[in-house]
């Protein structure tokens, strides 16, 4: 499955980079979030790969959902965010990513995060996670295994560049964490997965396609993502009385730690 994910993500990333370098305008979706032609073209590429190789598995993809295309899901399905970090993309920052994940029984069991402008990708399945280096010809030049680090005495946190919140500052104070780096897109999960940081608290809105691929990589690398009650974040949340389908609650992603401590 990861072979299909790699091919799809890299092909989508190649198209995204062409548009990124040429420049393109952004429009607004109904929820006021930005969307570009890069999102739409990349999603079509990814869906074509997934439908060809796994025609029986439903695909929940961000732009399709925005257009009203929401297939019924069972115990397994794909989650696709063709361009996470569209604000970064529009602002000519290079942290945007392509995200594909496979969900089984509410868990992200396989995923890839590709940052085409940085030439790196992260993938995970089962108990193995890898970092890939992608060259200018969009070929994987090399790869190596990655894993979370044990929580050090001085921990480093990651926060969203575009969606920070007062709750994040409160959490960091509770945890006595003074080092915090702001970064866009699902790369935050990947930095935890490769042992470059320790915790990523999120107290503003995310959707499942925003987090599933990065969460899959993190879990494969030995980390975890939990809700504020300490339970694992689950996927396939439909029929929610308090929010729309596929919306996530607040969560904390940890590197070498499995529970949320509250001061």
- Where are the chain's structural domains? 2-146, 156-254
Average pLDDT over residues 208-224: 97
| Nearest CA-CA partner of 216 in 85, 91, 116, 81 | 81
Provide the CATH topology of domain 156-254: D-Maltodextrin-Binding Protein; domain 2 (3.40.190)
54-63, 116-125, 180-189, 237-246: least confident range: 180-189
| 2-146 against 156-254: fold identical | no
- Residue 7 clears pLDDT 80, i.e. is over it: yes
Residue 106 confidence (pLDDT) above 70: yes
pLDDT computed for residue 14 by the predictor: 97
pLDDT band at 261 (very low <50, low <70, confident <90, very high): very low
pLDDT confidence band for 6 (50 / 70 / 90): very high
The CA-atom distances, in angstroms, between 32 and each of 66, 194, 208 are: 11, 33, 18
Distance CA 155, CA 10 (A): 33
pLDDT reported for residue 262: 42
CB crowding 196-227: b at 16 or more within 10 Å, else e: ebbbbbbbeebbbbbbbbbbbbbbbbbbbbbe
Average pLDDT of the chain to the nearest whole number:
91
Q: What is the pTM of this model?
A: 0.92
Please tell us whether the domain made up of 2-146 is placed in CATH 3.40.1010.10: no
């Amino acid at each position: 499955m990861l072979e299909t994910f790699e091919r799809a993500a890299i092909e989508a990333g190649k198209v995204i980079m062409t548009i990124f370098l040429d420049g393109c305008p952004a429009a607004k979706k109904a929820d006021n979030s930005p969307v570009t032609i890069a999102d739409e073209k990349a999603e079509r590429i990814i869906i074509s790969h997934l439908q060809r190789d796994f025609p029986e598995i439903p695909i929940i993809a961000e732009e399709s959902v925005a257009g009203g295309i929401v297939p019924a899901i069972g115990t397994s399905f794909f989650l696709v965010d063709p361009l996470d970090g569209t604000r970064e993309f529009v602002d000519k920052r290079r942290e945007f990513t392509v995200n594909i994940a496979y969900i089984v029984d509410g868990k992200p069991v396989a995923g890839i995060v590709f940052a085409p402008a940085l030439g790196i990708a992260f993938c995970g399945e089962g108990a193995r996670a890898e970092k890939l280096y992608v060259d200018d010809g969009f070929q994987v030049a090399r790869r190596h295994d990655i894993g979370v680090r044990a929580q050090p005495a001085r921990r480093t946190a990651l926060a969203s560049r575009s969606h920070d919140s007062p709750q994040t500052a409160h959490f960091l104070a509770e945890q006595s964490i003074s080092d915090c780096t702001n970064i866009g897109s699902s790369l935050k999960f990947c930095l935890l997965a490769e042992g470059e940081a320790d915790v990523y608290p999120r107290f503003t809105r995310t959707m499942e396609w925003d987090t599933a691929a990065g969460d899959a990589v993190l879990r494969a690398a030995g980390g975890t993502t939990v809700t504020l009650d300490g339970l694992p974040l689950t996927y396939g949340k439909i029929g929610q009385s308090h929010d729309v389908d596929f919306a996530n609650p607040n969560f904390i992603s940890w590197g070498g730690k499995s529970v949320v401590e509250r001061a």
